[in-house]
Structure 1
Amino acid sequence: MNWTLEVVAMPVADLDRAKKFYAEKMGFVVDHDTRVDGGPGIIQLTPPGSGCSIVLGLGMVEMEPGSLQGLQLVVPDIRAAREELAGRGVEISEVQVAGPEGFRSSTEDDALDNVGFAFFSDPDGNRWALQQISSRA
């Protein structure tokens, strides 16, 4: 039996601000934006090429906006992905390399598969990581 993770609920304070960040700055596809009469609505967005979406909705989860930590996007080229996001206005860290002593700044000579990372937060403070994986075993 296959088990697939397909939706992660994001705790946000402002749906329109979060939608703008994820759609315009991150480039996520807006799958649907359903505004319910008398309520704020639900917005589902999917990163390009991903089988998992995020869902934004006020009061959908019992977490405070900004409390979700450790979400991870995998990309085949961390430097190109970081440059693209920075060009769209995302405040993102420099590329870092994970090793036995923790993280260190990347150099041009570093092999980054599986160990190359960059970090950013959405407007509410939910923390994300990018990781480079160009192929899987």
Structure 2
Amino acid sequence: MSKTVFVLNGPNLNMLGKREPGIYGGKTLKDVEADCISACRELGLDVDFRQSNHEGDLVSWLHEAGEHSVGVAINAGAYTHTSVALHDAIKAITVPVIEVHISNVHAREEFRHHSRIAPACKGVICGFGPTSYILALHALKSITD
């Protein structure tokens, strides 16, 4: 039986490669997806990679992941700092969820220093560029084996 992980991406992540490359780098979201597919292949995992600018989509996908995956890596973008709905959706599922950020949110604006979803997550990885996603996949593999 395959082990699927969901990699969920929130608002504005579709703009990677164009949006503030000094902060987020030059890789596009398609590049990040390809990196995740490659890493999952090496880890013996399948990946379901998605992006939405809509909070409700992310909530529904978390619910789906709770039924059809072994874990979730989520870069909720700005919703990280505002969404009680995502916090509650993470709490509602039993699979582990890792919060992911490309930048070091603690070295940025004050409002980015607080995460509403972190208390519901198994862990947080930030500040390693797109490699943050790969680190999250390795973490999921280690805690779901």
Verify same fold: TM over 0.5.
no
How high is the TM-score relative to the length of structure 1?
0.31
**Greater strand share, 1 or 2?**
1
How high is the TM-score relative to the length of structure 2?
0.30
